[in-house]
Amino acid sequence: MFQLEQPPLPEIKITATTPAVKSKSLFGGIFMAIAIISIWAISLGLLLYIDISEFKFWMLLPLIFWQTFLYTGLFITAHDAMHGVVFPKNPKINHFIGSLCLFIYGLLPYQKLLKKHWLHHHNPASETDPDFHNGKHKNFFAWYLYFMKRYWSWLQIITLMIIYNLLKYIWHFPEDNMTYFWVVPSILSSLQLFYFGTFLPHSEPVEGYKEPHRSQTISRPIWWSFITCYHFGYHYEHHEYPHVPWWQLPEIYKMSKSNL
């Protein structure tokens, strides 16, 4: 089920600090994955049952943004699984966790995204990069819609609509709760991931792309980098060291800054 047919990603470059980073990630990745999945599940379960009839909309916003952040965490975990760093000791468990995260994120097919993501790393910001625009859809919303069409299908959308209506009419989940804490956060999460993980780092700079990764890091404080998108803004570092998990990218970022 999880046999990888694409050629392996480029090997991580070995430096004085790289071995320590790799060794610490052997069990840290699965701990992070279990934590994110568990917090997301508990949070969603609680939010689907709370009575929000007396809430003003502005009071719901922190809860919506919190749930959006957790949805983004699910995708980031699946992304790390594609790089084999959720559980390096056991590839089957690693890819199972990745497929689980994408399934609960939005019924996304792990194998399909895995192949596309490898194409992205081997051919970033090029005609063969499935995440890149086609030369016409360069502004944010046009690129976002072009991007989403490559990853979503009518079957996924219809299936999600069926699940939504089953939860509403058969199990009597509150419709407002499902909309605010399931539907809206998943959509906002896709915008967040696209903006910080594709649009900002892979838009062509005025001075042109920097080879070979054709990406750039969005420099920001580490705490803000985590809040915005689990350090996905440290994107050049991610392409340079694709086997480093998201939660250790700040170490690579600080190492790069000190080298400069």
Residue 170's φ and ψ, nearest 5 degrees, are -95, -50
Query: From CA 204, how far away is CA 214, in angstroms rounded?
Result: 8
Pair 124, 97: CB distance under 8 Å: no
43-47, 54-58, 122-126, 205-209 — most confident range: 43-47
Task: Read off the pLDDT band of 5 (50, 70, 90).
Answer: very low
- pLDDT reported for residue 14: 35
Please classify residue 191 by burial: count the beta carbons closer than 10 Å to its beta carbon, then call 0-12 exposed, 13-18 middle and 19+ buried: middle
Domain definitions of the chain by residue range: 27-209
CA–CA dist 155, 55 (Å, integer): 35
Is pTM beyond 0.85 here?
Answer: yes
| H-only helix segments in the chain | 18-49, 57-82, 91-106, 110-122, 140-149, 154-169, 175-178, 184-194, 200-202, 222-229, 235-240, 249-259
pLDDT value at position 129?
A: 92
Q: For residue 154, what are its two tokens? A: 């009518």
Asked if the model's pLDDT at residue 33 lies above 80, the reply is yes
- DSSP H or E segment with residue 223: helix 222-229
* Residue 151 or residue 22, greater confidence: 151
CA distance 166 to 197: 33
| SS3 of residue 85 by DSSP | coil
> What count of other Cβ atoms lies within 10 Å of the Cβ of residue 71?
28
Closest-CA residue to 234 (of 55, 53, 76): 76
Place of tokens 């060794």: 23
Distances in Å between the Cα of 105 and the Cα atoms of 41, 65, 70 are 11, 16, 10
What span, in angstroms and rounded, lies between the C-alpha atoms of 67 and 5?
34
Q: Helix-strand-coil percent breakdown of the chain, rounded to 5?
A: 65, 0, 35
Provide the Cα torsion 41, 44, 48, 51; round to 10°.
120
Cα–Cα distance list, 149 to 17, 75, 114, 228 (Å): 40, 17, 17, 24
Structure confidence by residue, pLDDT tens digits, 188-201: 999 999 999 999 99
User: What amino acid occupies position 84?
Assistant: G
Per-residue pLDDT reduced to its tens digit, 152-162: 999 999 999 99
147 residue type, one letter = F
Q: Cis (ω within 30 of 0) for the bond into 201?
A: no
